[in-house]
Amino acid sequence: MRNILLVWDIDGTLIHSKGCGRRAMEQTFYKLFGIKNAFQQIQMSGRLDAWIVRDALIMHNIQEKNLAVFFDAYCELLQLEMKDAEASVPIQGIQELLQYIKDLSNIYHALGTGNIERGARIKLAPQDLNRYFPVGGYGDAALERWQIIEQAVKRSNEHYKVIFQPEDIYVIGDTPLDIGCGKTLGVKTIAVATGSHGLEELRKHEPDHLFANLENYHEFFRIFTDKEYL
């Protein structure tokens, strides 16, 4: 039986965090540097936290060495934001899908997210989703986004003691950037229109598989049964 690795994006794919990350970043910048709306001009969607914050620091003439201090304060504020029970909701169908996969011995999970690792864990905690993802690639360092996926695969190989083959690795995400990462690395891509991009927009980027949502997880698993993986 082949071993399959699913590399999951977080925001818009596993959960909707309703702008908690952005709010926590804005609050952190204000708390540390007294600047309001510091991220207003900065593109955040699908980008790495390290780049987002670095851009803001440069834009406001603050030394980049403050990056670590920023993230410490950010995690505290993000934690507060996420304490609100309604701050995040799982994408519909995701909990059922993860629960179902749990019993399949040849499917493994990793995170592949632009969030810093601590931020990712804070975002997934309210829905108790961290238990599915022992490893991942994160946005702590200012890497290219595809390098996060590469990192996730490398760590998965080590953690699960399985060498996953490119044709058995699936990047799952809600943006063209996620699809692009998979293509750069020569692995498979699954796009879901549960985030900020619609079905037709995602289709233009030619993912290997495309879903409006993951509510019908049997449809999702057809990807693998069709290939006689399961």
Contacts of 148 (CB under 8 A, 6+ apart): 48, 112, 113, 114, 137, 138, 139, 181
Measured from the Cβ of residue 218, the count of other Cβ atoms closer than 10 Å reads: 9
Q: Please tell me whether residue 90 binds Mg ion under the rule CB under 5 A.
A: no
Pick the binder of Mg ion from 5, 7, 8, 11 (CB under 5 A): 11
Residue 52: name the closest of 32, 78, 35, 70 by CA: 70
Query: Segment 117-146, which members bind Mg ion (CB under 5 A)?
Result: none
The stretch near Mg ion (CB under 5 A) out of 11-19, 26-34, 53-61, 88-96 is: 11-19
The stretch near Mg ion (CB under 5 A) out of 1-9, 21-29, 56-64, 69-77 is: 1-9
Cβ–Cβ under 8 Å, residues 50 and 67:
yes
- From the CB of 44, what's the least distance to Mg ion, in Å? 10
Q: Please tell me whether residue 49 binds Mg ion under the rule CB under 5 A.
A: no
The helix/strand count (H/E) of the chain reads as 9, 8
Query: Segment 144-203, which members bind Mg ion (CB under 5 A)?
Result: 174, 195
Residue recorded with tokens 């994160």: 138
Q: Report the alpha-carbon distance of residue 41 to residue 101 in Å, rounded.
A: 40
Residue number with CB closer to Mg ion (57 or 109): 109
Sheet strands (E) in the chain: 4-8, 15-16, 89-90, 107-112, 136-137, 169-173, 188-192, 209-211
Q: Which residues lie across from 210 on neighbouring strands?
A: 191
- From the CB of 187, what's the least distance to Mg ion, in Å? 17
- From the CB of 114, what's the least distance to Mg ion, in Å? 8
- From the CB of 202, what's the least distance to Mg ion, in Å? 12
Residue number with CB closer to Mg ion (177 or 230): 177
Note the residues at the interface with Mg ion (CB under 5 A): 9, 11-12, 174, 195
